[in-house]
Amino acid sequence: MKLFTSKTQKIGAYGEDICVRWLNNNGFRIIERNYTRPVGEIDIIALKDNTLHFIEVKSVSCENTDTISHQAVYNPAENVTREKIHKCYKTIATYQKEHNVSYETQFDVYLVYIDQRNIKHKIERIENVF
C-alpha cells in the first residue's frame, strides 16, 4: 500500500476510500486498487453486471458540499487531461492483456468533493469516458 504524506495525497487517498465505500454499497465488487505499471496507474478496478470498470478518482476539499458550484469550487475533473486519459488507456490495455479480460470494460471518472470538516461528501460520476 502506498504511503501518502502531502495534504493533497491524503485528500486523494481519502476520496478513493469514500469512492470504494460508495461502489461497494452500489453493487460493485472491488477487484483491485492502485493498479500501477510503468505506463500509468488505475485507482480502482471494480466489477458490476459483467462490466469491468476502470476508475480514476479525483478529489477536492471544499467548504460545503451542499452548495457546490463548479464556478465557485475548483473542479477536480480539470485534472483529467488528455495526457492522463492516454496513460489510463495504455494502463487498461496492459491490465487486459495481463489478465486475459473477457468482460466488457469501461473507463469512469469519479469526482469526490469532501467538506473541510470531512463530515460529508458528494460524488459525481462521469461514465464511459472512452
Residue 75 located in a structural domain: yes
CA-CA distance, 12 to 14, in Å (whole number)?
A: 5
- Confidence (pLDDT) at 71: 45
Q: Which domain holds residue 54?
A: 7-126
Tell me whether residue 1 is in a domain: no
Whether 2 is covered by a domain: the verdict is no
Residue 26 lies in a domain: yes
Cell, residue 52 = 469491468
Whether the model pTM is above 0.75: yes
**Number of domains into which the chain is organized:** 1
Nearest in space to 121 (alpha carbons), one of 4, 1, 16: 16
For residue 42, what pLDDT is reported?
94
CATH for 98:
3.40.1350.10
| 103 close to 46: Cβ distance less than 8 angstroms | no
For residue 35, give the nearest of 91, 85, 80 by alpha carbon.
Answer: 91
User: pLDDT confidence of 64, banded at 50, 70, 90?
Assistant: low
Q: How confident is the model at residue 60 (pLDDT cuts 50, 70, 90)?
A: confident
| Reduced 3-state DSSP string for 80-128 | CCHHHHHHHHHHHHHHHHHHCCCCEEEEEEEEEEEECCCCCEEEEEECC
Q: Which residue has better confidence, 43 or 73? A: 43
| Coil vs helix vs strand at 52 | strand
Considering the chain, what is the average pLDDT of its residues? 81
